[in-house]
């Protein structure tokens, strides 16, 4: 399983989400920055993602919850 992250404005990322409804995409927004996350076994739809390999996970991703991500450099 791989985990991909990309950044942009909420409007731009929301358009990506609307155009790719068959993918599990989640947007999380702060004051002036938004993050979109995709977790998949396939290739990502993002053009310039940050790429991570999922070692373990607990629960599932939803837009309504708080999430903590731990990245271990290799």
Q: Which pLDDT score is estimated for 27?
A: 92
Name the architecture of domain 2-53.
2-Layer Sandwich (3.30)
What is the chain's pLDDT, residue by residue, as a tens digit (74 residues)?
888 999 999 999 999 999 999 998 999 888 888 999 998 989 999 999 999 888 877 777 776 766 677 777 65
> Three-state SS across the chain?
CEEEEEEECHHHHHHHHHHCCCCCEEEEECCCCEEEEEEECCCCCCCCCEEEECCCCCCCCCCCCCCCCCCCCC
Give the pLDDT score at 34: 92
Q: What is the pLDDT of residue 33?
A: 87
Predicted local distance difference test score (pLDDT) of residue 61 = 73
What's this model's pTM, rounded to 2 decimal places? 0.78
């Amino acid at each position: 399983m791989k985990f991909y992250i990309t950044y942009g404005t909420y409007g731009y990322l929301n358009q990506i989400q609307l155009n790719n409804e068959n993918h599990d995409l989640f947007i999380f927004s702060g004051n002036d920055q938004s993050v979109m996350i995709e977790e998949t076994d396939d290739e990502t739809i993002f053009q310039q993602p940050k790429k991570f390999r999922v070692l373990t996970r607990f629960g599932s991703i939803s837009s309504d919850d708080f999430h903590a991500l731990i990245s271990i450099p290799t």
